[in-house]
Structure 1
């Protein structure tokens, strides 16, 4: 029967034509502006780990103090040349010439660079090329690329050379992120397109859904780039990759939920306008609730100590907000324009009973198809089903203690080939492994010798130098006997550089600067130097990594409980219940633990990863819990709607059958988009990719399909306590 009684149907024809036309034109303009902003992303992305430390971190304070000791902000690139035998005169001369060519590269600050330093075994030499950083400087990764070109153009016979150090690792990381605009988006969009083609068997629908998702992404990029350019919201390559995937996945999920409601409405309403309003009426609440839950979870990241975590929150929240707006405005306008043609070659007619509530009939346990069979299983053996599902998830959790998420060396950030990692290994074979990236100590001038003595007495410290004036190397060695000059015998010791009564010491470590051993040495240094005074600070690249890990661990302990509490409150308000939200939260947390447990087995036993960053479980938790609750919201809002009319147990089976197809499609889409992150050779993103994709599949096929419906069915109307629905007859 055709329903023409909606108030929206009374709108004049010109208005029914103008509203979708204006919406489409506005979004197309956003699409164009946002598309142009993609080209500006590389200009605003920052991949320096030190940029994202909390302001209170000791390494951050040292970084700020270092700037006062130097004329420019610098990042060191270490050029190392090594041979299998003692370097001869020709090779030594070639290395000197190589240094001159490197110092001539635009962006290298020659006055702040070091001379050639030979190794004790005579088989290698190194020098530091200091690269200027800052707003007006050439990006350090581009300078490193030019230095590496110089090395290729000036090969040294019988020796190998490489560029390593902080600048080298930053360049390799930037190179790994270089495929983020093209490859990542192409893989994600192709995966989504293929899934939609298989699910809907329509050539036009996938295009409309992907156009909605891409437009939401363009809007997000436009806003984020504008904020980053204004120095309001910095963005890293890591955050950029997550933004892309999150927007494509979330916007597609919301679009699929609306699409299911629109398809159902077309079987009831003859006019597309009436079907559109009916679909919006049924879809807006779960979509807004789901998106709002994710946004709240992401914004809680603002409470993080680590700036990179804090930044991800609003950036990703902007993406989700754009996804919500596009799914509730652009897609309805596009489908209103396309009408039933969007589903071609399938024909949807008024009165059709293959779709929606009419297809179920009075007895939800009867009927054909996969979801009818699942509904019968849940209704007939609910306790067996939810206990079995819980045991399966619990078994997966057994791998959780094996998850090594206490930090990994910087050299392991990039998977595959890394010249910086190869160069660091080469450096460690002939020099103290921490050469070129020393720990930095800043303290009072009066305590210079005391600080040096303590540093030299610390296990893991090889040598100590002080930044000095009128020194050929810009620094002088500090021994237990005092400051020694770098130069010929008899050269007078230079005076240390003093800024506001403080001096700067550099402690070269025995271990690679990014190693766990080096971090332990820095911790010992800090404890020992506290005896000199609390105003003695230790920084440098190793301290940056150490403080980053400490901040990540603190964030994990703070953010996870806050996210759980916030989502629980949202679910209680949405479902007007206490029991059901508690069950949903418990199920998603169990699913998250299971995903981590399986991931630990995979990371250790199959991929052989060296470990994981402490923020990996945190990000995985925020995404999995917030997005996993999405599917439960889609399910339980429909269950509540059906329970009001048919009773709780019948409503559970009806809700499961009505949402089964769309939620499964949404889960497959979201898992595929997060799996696309794995194409980037970044350890952090590959791990996030696997955990979230696997966890989403668990939520889609086990938690939402079996565990939640079966447990809810077993408990019955008590799940709606303390609302009036809990006092119903069924």
Structure 2
């Protein structure tokens, strides 16, 4: 039987391996790919694709010298722009716009020849950068929306590989430290790698069959979920398997008993994560709704691999895989003072005081959310600023009287003239220029007096949307506004859905209403405290100028779904001990003593895998990885160890209300004996 399972997995890998290799090719990382279909800016992007030449790639060439541009500098700019026009098909003839102090000259450049081909757009941007070079104190930077998309795309191109190798490295080190075995760590790590390949193939299939949006963000998170959650399930299973090997002579029987014992907890754990992620399907944002099924297939791939392939491999390897500490049949583990037994004993001496103190601490940490910085602008979204961002900053500094980034208005062609005139008279508008026409639509470029993504430009965009009937208002800044609005709407819809889905699964597993409520309150408190710590770190320590709009929702989904995992491990073992006749306090302490080490190891692994996100050059991913990693550690070492344990001791049998454990005497405890063959 184990050989058959391994053979089936090998056959599956051969079949789906080529699909996993295509996973990176279907990722979409433009800002508009994250937006809902109904957003104005999404409609603008779609209509632009249908205009003559298709989607345009808009750049701004910025020539700057601190002491003022010389005649030679201006001639250099003219020659380089002409060379760009010769090398590429441009939309119109670029005209230079000097700054008032004479230190800067900008040339807006646009081309429709790359169209929607991402490689062609990147080649165009890179080609323009090769042509335009400064020297002798003359600075030349290529900015604009097209350059920003290219720089963003290059970051996402490296995310999959960076995350995969960094996460594998972190998990490898931690497994070696946890197992202290030269061989055992290889088994769950190899199985997790197989699960990651299967998840990539499945996600690619979702995109091809159901047009699920896959972004660099969702792809990276899926990798972390497979390796982090999969390793957690492996830690729980291997711990229980080691325990059962002392009671069963044959490894096959020990594994079968171990799966029966911890299988329901692993199944419920993965079910809560999958259910929480599926709630993201209700999101308005394409990126969030796509992350739901993509993350779900990652968790399910980890579940299937760790409950089929991992047991089969462990059984085939036998007891020797645990060398040098091999659990012999009939032996008893070496008696030693358990750290978690000591922690549990200290917590249960004054449970009310411990519970109240922990609640006050979490509440105080949550106050840090008041210090979270405001919304994250595009220019602040990188930890290391690429050329497109520095060009944007130069333009904002040298051209304070007008924006260098157009607001795009799409109007019916028969009313385009009137729309343009109305736009000129709108407050905050500096310049209006008509663009392409086709298919009954006309593109109009509107330049605001305020700098991009400032409150002044936001007011101008809102005024245009209110005053121009029958039109769509889009562009990079409008996309950020639509993104923030959709995130606000999604929080209101998805948070209750996640709580309801997780609560139903917990009720089914624990046969109680009180225990699930206790666990949900705990993970919500952890989420608030983790965000509060972020508020104390992001601005004052890391110097971040803003908070990603999706941080609150995504961190909530992951911390609730993943945090409940450890509550499931603890409470399921507590219920098992209660069914065997243990009194409530004894059941709680036994559950903490037997699962505390596993939960601590799993929490450290999961926190470390999400912490890998903090090494990436995107502020939004750094913030997400930090909050989830901190939340998992809080949940592991404070909430599960102290607060859930003390709350269970205080509630006694009420924690299982209205299940039968809350109202009927428990049966006599049955001691387990070694089982001979």
Q: TM-score, normalised by structure 2?
A: 0.93
State yes or no: 1:396 paired with 2:365: yes
1:83-105 CA distance string (max 9 Å, x none) = 33554444333223322433455
State yes or no: 1:700 paired with 2:636: yes
Q: Which residue in 1 is equivalent to 2:159?
A: 180
State yes or no: 1:460 paired with 2:428: yes
1:284-312 CA distance string (max 9 Å, x none) = 11111000110010000000001100000
Q: Which residue in 2 is equivalent to 1:138?
A: 119
Other structure's SS at 2:124 match: helix
The correspondence for 2:301, drawn from 307, 322, 335, is 322
Q: Which residue in 2 is equivalent to 1:486?
A: none
1:11-62 CA distance string (max 9 Å, x none) = xxxxxxxx22232233345556666556534422211011221111111222
State whether residues 53 and 115 of structure 2, in contact with CA within 8 Å, keep that contact through their aligned partners in structure 1: no
State whether residues 30 and 215 of structure 1, in contact with CA within 8 Å, keep that contact through their aligned partners in structure 2: no
1:487-541 CA distance string (max 9 Å, x none) = xxxxxxxxxx4753x5432111233434443223211222233xxx3x1321122
Question: How many residues matched?
Answer: 663
Q: Which residue in 2 is equivalent to 1:77?
A: 59
Matches for 1:518-537 after TM superposition, within 5 Å: 518-529=457-468, 533=469, 535-537=470-472
**Further displaced range: 395-404 or 330-339:** 395-404
State yes or no: 1:573 paired with 2:526: no
Root-mean-square deviation (CA), in Å? 2.3
Matches for 1:492-571 after TM superposition, within 5 Å: 497=437, 499-500=439-440, 502-529=441-468, 533=469, 535-571=470-506
Q: Which residue in 2 is equivalent to 1:150?
A: 131
Q: Which residue in 1 is equivalent to 2:204?
A: 225
Other structure's SS at 2:63 match: strand
State yes or no: 1:380 paired with 2:316: no
Shift of residue 337 of structure 1?
Answer: 1.3
Distance 1:222 1:729, change over 3 A: same
Other structure's SS at 1:162 match: strand
State whether residues 228 and 609 of structure 2, in contact with CA within 8 Å, keep that contact through their aligned partners in structure 1: yes
1:240-266 CA distance string (max 9 Å, x none) = 111111111010001111111111110
Shift of residue 369 of structure 1?
Answer: 2.0
State whether residues 520 and 564 of structure 2, in contact with CA within 8 Å, keep that contact through their aligned partners in structure 1: yes
Distance 1:649 1:420, change over 3 A: same
Other structure's SS at 1:414 match: coil
**Further displaced range: 601-610 or 450-459:** 450-459
Distance 1:375 1:205, change over 3 A: same
Q: Which residue in 2 is equivalent to 1:16?
A: none
Distance 1:642 1:161, change over 3 A: same
The correspondence for 1:45, drawn from 1, 4, 27, is 27
In 2, the alpha carbon distance for the partners of 1:726 and 1:633 equals 18
Matches for 1:139-538 after TM superposition, within 5 Å: 139-152=120-133, 155=134, 157-228=136-207, 232-354=211-333, 368-404=337-373, 407-431=375-399, 435=403, 437-445=405-413, 447-448=415-416, 450-467=418-435, 497=437, 499-500=439-440, 502-529=441-468, 533=469, 535-538=470-473
In 2, the alpha carbon distance for the partners of 1:30 and 1:519 equals 52
In 2, the alpha carbon distance for the partners of 1:639 and 1:211 equals 31
**Further displaced range: 634-643 or 511-520:** 511-520
In 2, the alpha carbon distance for the partners of 1:433 and 1:221 equals 48
Shift of residue 547 of structure 1?
Answer: 0.6
State whether residues 217 and 322 of structure 1, in contact with CA within 8 Å, keep that contact through their aligned partners in structure 2: yes
State the 4+ residue runs in structure 1 displaced beyond 6 angstroms: none
Q: Which residue in 2 is equivalent to 1:621?
A: 556
State yes or no: 1:690 paired with 2:622: no
State whether residues 48 and 54 of structure 2, in contact with CA within 8 Å, keep that contact through their aligned partners in structure 1: no
Q: Which residue in 1 is equivalent to 2:670?
A: none
Distance 1:498 1:281, change over 3 A: closer
In 2, the alpha carbon distance for the partners of 1:429 and 1:562 equals 45
Q: Which residue in 2 is equivalent to 1:652?
A: 588
1:541-596 CA distance string (max 9 Å, x none) = 21111111100111111111110111111111111111111111011111111111
State yes or no: 1:637 paired with 2:610: no
- Flag structure 2 segments of 5+ consecutive residues without an equivalent: 667-677
- Flag structure 1 segments of 5+ consecutive residues without an equivalent: 1-18, 360-366, 469-496
Distance 1:340 1:621, change over 3 A: same
Shift of residue 157 of structure 1?
Answer: 4.7
Q: TM-score, normalised by structure 1?
A: 0.86
The correspondence for 1:661, drawn from 597, 605, 612, is 597
- The higher radius of gyration belongs to 1
State whether residues 55 and 116 of structure 2, in contact with CA within 8 Å, keep that contact through their aligned partners in structure 1: no
Q: Which residue in 2 is equivalent to 1:95?
A: 77
In 2, the alpha carbon distance for the partners of 1:28 and 1:146 equals 45
Shift of residue 614 of structure 1?
Answer: 1.7
In 2, the alpha carbon distance for the partners of 1:137 and 1:498 equals 23
Shift of residue 400 of structure 1?
Answer: 1.8
Shift of residue 435 of structure 1?
Answer: 5.0
In 2, the alpha carbon distance for the partners of 1:375 and 1:140 equals 60
In 2, the alpha carbon distance for the partners of 1:692 and 1:89 equals 55
Q: Which residue in 1 is equivalent to 2:673?
A: none
In 1, the alpha carbon distance for the partners of 2:131 and 2:32 equals 28
